[in-house]
């Protein structure tokens, strides 16, 4: 094990790249296997979307965070969560809007985005006034997650539901047998474990050698890398004429990151917060509010996508200036 750790630390760039690739591949295998098994047991498309699909889109962040927290690298974990949410709204939604005008359903505007804003405010407030995140914070976040899930199940009966539309497309395309599904599930979990460890070692070593904090590495490099599944999903959805899926994917992923990935990570250890965490909280709250304003007219236009991308670029430039 010591030889493996030494090798990955010496080749930290390669470890980071290979780790991220394994995280993405493992997440894809997990969703394919999960859908196959769920279909075999007669689970509805809606339940598949709200559980298996939602979990898989955030599985790279979850795998990395659990390993990081267990090894005492809490800054990397919290940076990954907040950085992914900022990247999802600024980078992912911005790119999707540039590809085509993104119509947004009334349900997303009236219900899902306000839930995201409320969750962002609560998580940011509790984080700002804490020196570290502990188990009781996890209980609060998990409770909020259960409320959000109950709301999705209640509203998911509508045929116009974004998530219902998403899962119908996914389940129609799934052809794996149940045995292949179990194999994909096992392989996906294994790749997530290996990829999470490689990414964690690569990111921590890079932060040490470059003389910057793990938080910055987590918010930038790792967050962008683990957001790649959302980028791919959003771009494909926009190009294929399913813009609602693109918006729903971003909103759902951000909720899942804050209310599921973060508290599950806290069950493996507390996270000590750095003194400059307020910078990232302000950035996350600001870009969430701007994204909601852009979607309020039930359409995110290319020019508004440019605004979101510009805000994300300003955020990255600010980080560079603060850490120079």
Cβ atoms 27, 60 nearer than 8 A: yes
Per-residue pLDDT at 38: 64
Rounded to 5 degrees, φ, ψ at 71 are -95, 10
Complete DSSP assignment for 172-227: HH----HHHHHHHHHHHHHHHHHHHHHHHHHHHHHHHHHT--HHHHIIIIIHHHHT
Per-residue pLDDT at 309: 92
Per-residue pLDDT at 139: 94
What CATH code would you report for 2-322? 1.20.1420.30
Per-residue pLDDT at 136: 94
> How many angstroms separate the CA atoms of 57 and 41, rounded?
22
Per-residue pLDDT at 4: 57
Cβ atoms 33, 182 nearer than 8 A: yes
Per-residue pLDDT at 299: 77
Show me where the domains of the chain are located: 2-322
Each residue's pLDDT tens digit, 155-182: 555 444 444 444 444 444 445 677 887 8
In 3D space, the residue among 26, 314, 81, 306 whose CA is nearest the CA of residue 194 turns out to be 26
> How many angstroms separate the CA atoms of 48 and 58, rounded?
15
Per-residue pLDDT at 169: 47
Per-residue pLDDT at 267: 93
If you search the block for the tokens 């976040």, which residue do you land on?
141
The list of the chain residues with pLDDT below 50 reads 44-47, 49-50, 158-174
């Amino acid at each position: 094990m010591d030889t493996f750790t030494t090798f990955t630390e010496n080749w930290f760039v390669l470890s980071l790249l290979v780790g991220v690739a394994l995280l993405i591949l493992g997440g894809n295998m997990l969703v394919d296997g999960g859908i196959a098994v769920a279909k075999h047991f007669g689970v509805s498309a809606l339940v598949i979307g709200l559980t298996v699909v939602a979990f898989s889109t955030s599985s790279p962040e979850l795998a990395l965070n659990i390993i990081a927290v267990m090894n005492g690298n809490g800054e990397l974990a919290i940076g990954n969560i907040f950085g992914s949410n900022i990247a999802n709204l600024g980078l992912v939604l911005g790119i999707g809007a540039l590809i085509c005008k993104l119509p947004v359903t009334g349900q997303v505007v009236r219900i899902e985005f306000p839930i995201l804003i409320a969750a962002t405010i609560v998580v940011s407030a509790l984080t700002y006034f804490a020196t570290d995140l502990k188990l009781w914070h996890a209980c609060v976040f998990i409770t909020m997650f259960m409320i959000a899930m109950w709301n999705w199940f209640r509203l998911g009966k509508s045929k116009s539901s974004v998530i219902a539309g998403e899962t119908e497309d996914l389940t129609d395309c799934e052809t794996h047998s149940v045995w292949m599904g179990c194999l994909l599930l096992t392989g996906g979990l294994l790749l997530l474990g290996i990829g999470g460890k490689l990414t964690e070692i690569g990111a921590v070593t890079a932060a040490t050698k470059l003389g910057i904090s793990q938080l910055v590495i987590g918010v930038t490099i790792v967050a962008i890398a683990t957001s790649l599944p959302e980028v791919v999903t959003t771009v494909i959805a926009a190009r294929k004429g399913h813009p609602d899926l693109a918006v729903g994917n971003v909103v759902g992923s951000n909720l899942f990151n804050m209310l599921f990935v973060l508290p599950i990570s806290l069950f493996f250890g507390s996270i000590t917060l750095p003194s400059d965490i307020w910078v990232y909280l302000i950035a996350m709250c600001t870009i969430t509010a701007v994204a909601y304003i852009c979607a309020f007219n039930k359409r995110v236009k290319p020019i508004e996508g440019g605004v979101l991308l510009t805000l994300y670029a300003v955020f990255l430039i600010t980080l560079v200036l603060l850490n120079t």
